Chain A
Amino acid sequence: MTQKLTPDESRQKFDKIFADLTRSLKIKDELARFWIFILGMFLIVGLWGWIHQINKGLGITGMRDYVSWGMYIGNFVFFVAVSLIGLLISSILHLLHFDWGKPISRVAETVAIAAVALAGLVIVMDMGRPDRFLNIFLHGRFASPIVWDVTVITTYVAISTLLFYLPLIPDLALLRDRLGDDVPKIQKKLYSVLSLGWKGNTRQFEIITHAVRIMLVLIIPVGLSIHTVTSWLFANTLRAGWDSTIFGPYFVSGAFVAGSAAVILVMYVYRQRYDLEEYFTDKSFDWMGKMLVLMCLVYLYFNINEYLVPAYKMRAAEGVHLRELFTGRWSGLFWFAQIGGIFLPVILLLFRYFRRPLPITIIAFITLVASWFKRFIIVIPTLEHPHLPIQNVPEHFVHYTPTRPEIMITLLPFFASAIIITMLAKLFPVVTMWEYAEHSGVDKKTMFEDSEK
């Protein structure tokens, strides 16, 4: 890979990389506009639902006094889970020198930022008094897992953004200097401001490398804690199905499954839409497939612990809960989540055939949907079985059924995150250009010839 190139070869190669990776920025595509328009429409419907909910109260949802957390919380856990992939791909793979992860790390960071930012929004949607959101900062109670969660999520947003931005700075300079008039002036201005006068000298590269390395280490404990603390929202209660000591690692391993699936999806879309077969290669998909299998196996291990141990004992409330999951009211969803989210990827992705881009993308999609339902299954059935019987309340208090506005509001963050991901792809190259070029043997000096002038 890193054979010596002559300056001319180098220049040619870099011109091609630049052209390929800025295609997404330059394309004047109606399709993307239409895509954003559609997403925007759904987003508005969701927002309208939310306004309706704020006016009428949370009662427009299917939640009631017993099942008092519903799809919103499931959604929240899902988005936090997906965001964790940023930690895995851009940090752990990087630190372990898995080079195949490098072209994907910006995709992973994009997914992470979109997911974690929306997770913050989802939790506000679930509040009975969103107008009092600031109370968390004004009157925050430090012993509450919610305050810890808000703290770590804010921190994770900051670190993810920095990890997205730091390697982007040299790219921004390239865009500023080489992009010509293909993009609007304002966009060029944006690149110019954000690139912080990047010249590409050694000192600047030193700073970036130093900063990135610190961030890569820092994101590991912070990333692990966002999902561990999220799991504590459940594990710190006394309810059957939640009262578990392995909820932290159980959630983290599940998060890697969901996040990997999301990254595969986004990779495939970029590859097809912007003709990036050389960057998101078959080999990358193959690796992602292998990683997904590994993550699923780890998740399977925690699932066995999480379900088998209480199922062996069948303690009163746990027994009721597990029966409902395995054979009762929730068995359909439960088995879909378990099979689609664990067994299907584990079995199919063992075969090379299914690790090719299209098959793996379809599998990843199923896995992602199953991952969402898995969060639903973790949150809701437990609440339907409190310690004391549910009596003297209307029937719809006993069983949870989501309402239509609730579904609309639940979908809102999906559209919003799709818009964020699309916008980021339209503004910034989806692969770190300078890193990729350097890896292909292009000299840094050649890259920043224009910048040094």
Chain B
Amino acid sequence: MDNQNTRRNFLKTAGIALGCLGLAVPERVIGSGNKVLDAEGDTITLLTPGGQLVKVEKSKLKPAELPSLTENQKRGREGLPIRAWVMVIDLSKCRNARKCMAACQAHHQLRPEQHHMNTLQMQDAEHTAPYYMPKNCQHCDNPPCTKVCPVNATFKRSDGIVLIDNERCIGCRFCIAACPYSARVFNWFEPRDAEKYKDVVYDIEANVPQKKGTISKCLFSADLLRAGKLPSCVSACPNGVYWFGDQNEDAVTNGTTKETTRFSKLLKDNAGYTLMEELGTKPRVYYLPPKNRAFPFEGEMQKHE
């Protein structure tokens, strides 16, 4: 074994390790604060969706005009007209930075162990190369989860998003059992910051505030899409992993570089595929294979029996 080589690898690991440590601290601050970070005197510090901290005078704050709960539930069930959202995840770009996971947990008020977006370490067969795979709800066109819901609480909208109405959900967890992608999480306890948000009107398109005893999962940040913005994971990624767009327009935009390309061409040129297509779930999330990776796989494979 080449001595220099081992040392370099070791340094590489160390660099990543230090990187992780550096990342861990601010994330925790942002994650726990969630939008309202600090209020002192006449100003208030807020976290913008872009991740910037801004100070605002309290007097200039005014409540956003939110639709009523019933209005919100109604429009949340209909979906955005003429849209068919798709996501493309480029595995060759993923470095396991986990910015997507952090942004998602902040947006949807999730506990640290709850993941709408989860970066998995994958290895398809014994001798194949391991890689990182961000995995969220696949927003299937033949969704096994909505098929089994006993109360119409989870449903698929005309724009492709599979959503949950947590004012309706009875917490039977049949959808968790039905989902082959383990995309759904449950609020086993009072959700994070339940006390803080107890008076906030429920927003079906972001599924916040979370509710004890109900289901949560990735919603493609439907509230941001309505506002014409990219989902929070997509814009949070520093490595250009995520492409998001409208299949009807045949265009997807990269959340990092903001480059827009043809959806069909991107899949064709990079041999795009869907997860477990043999199950017939017809996902709306596409993957590009992890070839020519920009970042080497740094972790140890976790044993999964």
Contacts and interface: CB of A to CB of B under 8 A. Distances in A.
B304 A68 contact: no
B279 interface: yes
B185 A146 contact: no
Interface in A138-159: 139-141, 143-147, 150
A388 interface: yes
A128 B150 contact: no
A392 interface: yes
A188 interface: no
Given A128-B171, A238-B144, A141 B149 contact: yes
A139 B213 contact: no
B173 A129 contact: no
Interface string A369-391: 00000000000000101111111
A376 B180 CA distance: 21
Interface residues of A, number: 48
Contact of A63 (B182, B184, B188): B188
Interface stretch (A52-60, A195-203, A293-301): A52-60
Contact of B189 (A57, A129, A145, A387): A57
A144 B148 contact: yes
A267 to B, nearest CB: 36
B122 A389 contact: yes
Given A69-B177, A140-B151, A394 B135 contact: no
A101 to B, nearest CB: 36
B181 interface: yes
A320 B303 CA distance: 13
Interface in A390-439: 390-394, 397
Contacts, number: 143
A391 B304 CA distance: 9
Given A135-B151, A146-B172, A390 B182 contact: yes
B288 to A, nearest CB: 18
B126 to A, nearest CB: 12
Contacts of B239: none
A57 B150 contact: no
- Chain B contact surface mostly: loop
A236 interface: yes
A127 B185 CA distance: 15
B144, B147, B182 — which one has the most chain A CB atoms within 10 A of its CB? B182
Contact of B150 (A65, A147, A236, A237): A147
B120 interface: yes
B150, B152, B178 — which one has the most chain A CB atoms within 10 A of its CB? B150
Interface string B279-304: 10100000000000000000000101
A383 B213 contact: no
Contact of B114 (A65, A144, A390): A65
Interface residues of B, number: 47
A388 B182 contact: yes
B190 A57 contact: yes
B214 A129 contact: yes
A127 B173 CA distance: 8
Contacts of B188: 57-59, 63-65
Interface in B164-179: 168-174, 176-178
A335 interface: no
Nearest to B120: A391
A404 to B, nearest CB: 16
Contact of A133 (B113, B170, B304): B170
Interface in A12-60: 56-59
B170 A236 contact: no
Given A140-B150, A237-B177, A128 B276 contact: no
B305 interface: yes
Nearest to B280: A238
Given A128-B186, A389-B121, A389-B304, A236 B113 contact: no
A140 B172 CA distance: 13
Contact of A132 (B147, B148, B152, B170): B170
Given A127-B172, A141-B152, A65 B185 contact: yes
20 contacts: A57-B189, A58-B171, A65-B184, A66-B182, A69-B173, A127-B172, A128-B171, A129-B214, A133-B170, A135-B168, A136-B170, A140-B150, A141-B151, A143-B147, A233-B177, A237-B177, A239-B177, A391-B118, A391-B120, A391-B121
Pairs A-B, 10 closest by C-beta atoms: A128-B171, A128-B213, A59-B188, A146-B150, A389-B304, A144-B150, A59-B189, A68-B176, A57-B189, A129-B213
Interface of A: 56-59, 63-66, 68-69, 126-129, 132-133, 135-136, 139-141, 143-147, 150, 233-234, 236-239, 320, 324, 328, 383, 385-394, 397
Given A136-B150, A150-B150, A238-B281, 18 more contacts: A57-B188, A57-B190, A58-B188, A65-B184, A65-B185, A68-B176, A128-B169, A128-B173, A128-B187, A133-B170, A141-B152, A238-B178, A320-B305, A324-B305, A386-B182, A391-B120, A392-B101, A397-B113
